[in-house]
Chain A
Amino acid sequence: MARSIYTKLTGRYRSLAGFTQLWLAPDHLMLLQSSRFSEQYKRFAFSDIQSIVVTELPPRTVARSAIILAALAWMGLWFALEARWAKWAIELSGVLALLIPIADIARGPRCRCVLHTRVSREPLEPVSRIRIARKCLAEIRPRIEAVQGVLPPTLEPFPQAPSVTETPPPETPSPPGYLPEIVFGLFLANALMIWALMRFPQMTDLSGVLVNTIFAEMLLIVVAFLRRKGRDPRVIVYAVMALGILGIAYGFYELARELSGWYMTVLEKARNNDRSITPLTIFASGDRAQWMTVAWRAAAGVIGLGAAFYERRSKWPR
């Protein structure tokens, strides 16, 4: 094997498609991009490197916490299971899931690193942690300065871009997605389905669909609020959705009450040795509370769609 001029500078930054890695040669830096069956090489001569910029990224606290909580909840199934093998399988998979955020925390703060030359701007993916960035810069900097010298503190004015380019172009507001509209559409569809169940209680299959669509409502509202920040300045739409959350919470309470009633009926039948099937029907009693559920959903759907249409027209006129 011929001796290579390269020494390893970073570990591999893996992705589904392959990996990238930084290597150091006597006179240049090489970014290796592997797609498993072939390798691409990008070389950056020390004499050409103009700058290396490292920006720290925020910690993934929410994702980490979610994984830790989910893993702990998963491991809590230990107390619910009887079979020993199942208990250990649950614990092992839970520990493996816990290792993901632990490893993420242990690797330290994340960062993004970009290398500039006169003709290119290359993101250095392997430099994904502040610790790695410090080590890399400590290694590269003296070599670049040995070739180029040290940049003196600004003795003469740097060439500035023409003033025309300094003023940023006017922002063209891009309209947001249609997720709120989809939520309001779902409100209307669910109102219709609940009304249908109250009117025709024999449509038991609709109950199964409703459980999923009501859960989808909640999920879509959460996603809509998460995606809103900095993208969607509409106010009325989100106010209606916030009110909708209250209605959905009340709906969940009603749902839980009906499910527990169904469960108690099944238990009672089992005690009496009654083997007949008890169909699960929700929203079929037709009492005032359910009329309220239909009413608020229909109102929220109509008001929300109208507000979405109005606010979209006023903020992003065609």
Chain B
Amino acid sequence: MPANAIACAVCSSPVAAENWNREEASRCPGCGRDVRALVFPALRHDRSGESPAALEGESEASCYYHPQNRAARVCEDCGRFLCQLCDLDVDGRHLCPRCFDKTEVLETSRPMYDTMALALATFPALLFWPAFLGAPWALTMVIRRWNAPSSLVPRTKIRFILAALFAVAEIGFGIFVIYMFTSVSLKGPRR
């Protein structure tokens, strides 16, 4: 990344190197606003890697994935020879691409079942009749997804609990309404 890529967050004008890591803000030459840039040594690191060396003689070990390249390392998981191209540094371990695929992949998204259950228990109830569908659905979701992984950040089960309480109350009320209707219609009107 070139040094002039340190740019103002508003107008993207480059922030001069002498204004980096200063305690007080400097003025952006582009938009005239106060800018503070914290720059770290990672800016200088060249992580583009070395290009693989070609195999020179038959006595040399070659890469498992690229037979024309000279082996530079051994995969610490499967033991295959690897060239510079295939050598993947994963937290200090050297792996081949295939073993890298098998490693645990970091999650980038998660569904929030507790919010869904709470929404199912509350929003349909605002229109009354949809609650007859929403409440059982919400209760089913609470039971089925109670142990499903929640957010990566700290989060309580309060939404699940509230959803269950609302759903049970709505189902109870629905049963009461149905009972009242049926009892009135079976007995007939009072004389």
Contacts and interface: CB of A to CB of B under 8 A. Distances in A.
Interface stretch (B32-40, B51-59, B61-69): B32-40
A4 B149 CA distance: 12
A10 to B, nearest CB: 12
Interface string A47-88: 111111111111000000000000000000000000000000
A32 B108 CA distance: 10
A176 interface: no
Given A144-B40, A151-B41, A51 B152 contact: no
Interface in B88-117: 106-112, 115-116
B39 A51 contact: yes
Interface stretch (A36-44, A90-98, A298-306): A36-44
Contacts of A30: 152-153
Contact of A37 (B20, B34, B37, B115): B115
Contacts, number: 143
A36 B115 CA distance: 7
A217 to B, nearest CB: 33
B131 interface: no
A38 B156 CA distance: 16
A51 B43 contact: yes
Contacts of A148: 40-42
A1 B114 CA distance: 14
B120 to A, nearest CB: 11
A111 B21 CA distance: 17
Given A57-B33, A116-B1, A41 B39 contact: no
Interface string B1-31: 1111111111000010110110001001001
Sorting the interface of chain A by its residue count into under 10, 10 to 19, 20 to 34 or 35 or more gives: 35 or more
B36 A54 contact: yes
Contacts of A151: 20-21, 39-41, 43-44
Q: How large is the interface on B (under 10, 10 to 19, 20 to 34, 35 or more residues)?
A: 35 or more
Q: Which of B5, B36, B106, B107 has the most chain A CB atoms inside 10 A of its CB?
A: B36
A223 interface: no
Nearest to A42: B108
A25 to B, nearest CB: 9
A6 B20 contact: no
Nearest to B34: A56
B119 interface: yes
B151 interface: yes
Given A53-B8, A137-B38, A160-B2, A38 B152 contact: no
Contacts of A37: 111-112, 115-116, 119
Contact of A118 (B31, B39, B42): B42
Nearest to B114: A37
A315 interface: no
B23 to A, nearest CB: 11
Contacts of A57: 10, 33
B152 A55 contact: no
A106 interface: no
A166 interface: yes
Nearest to A6: B153
Contacts of B3: 158-160
A31 to B, nearest CB: 11
A53 B37 contact: yes
B109 A40 contact: yes
B113 to A, nearest CB: 9
B190 interface: no
Interface of A: 1, 4, 6, 8, 21, 23, 30, 32, 34, 36-43, 47-58, 111-114, 116-118, 123, 133, 137, 141, 144-145, 148-151, 154, 158-161, 166
- Closest 10 pairs (CB-CB, A-B): A158-B3, A161-B2, A55-B9, A56-B34, A114-B9, A112-B9, A50-B43, A51-B39, A148-B41, A50-B42
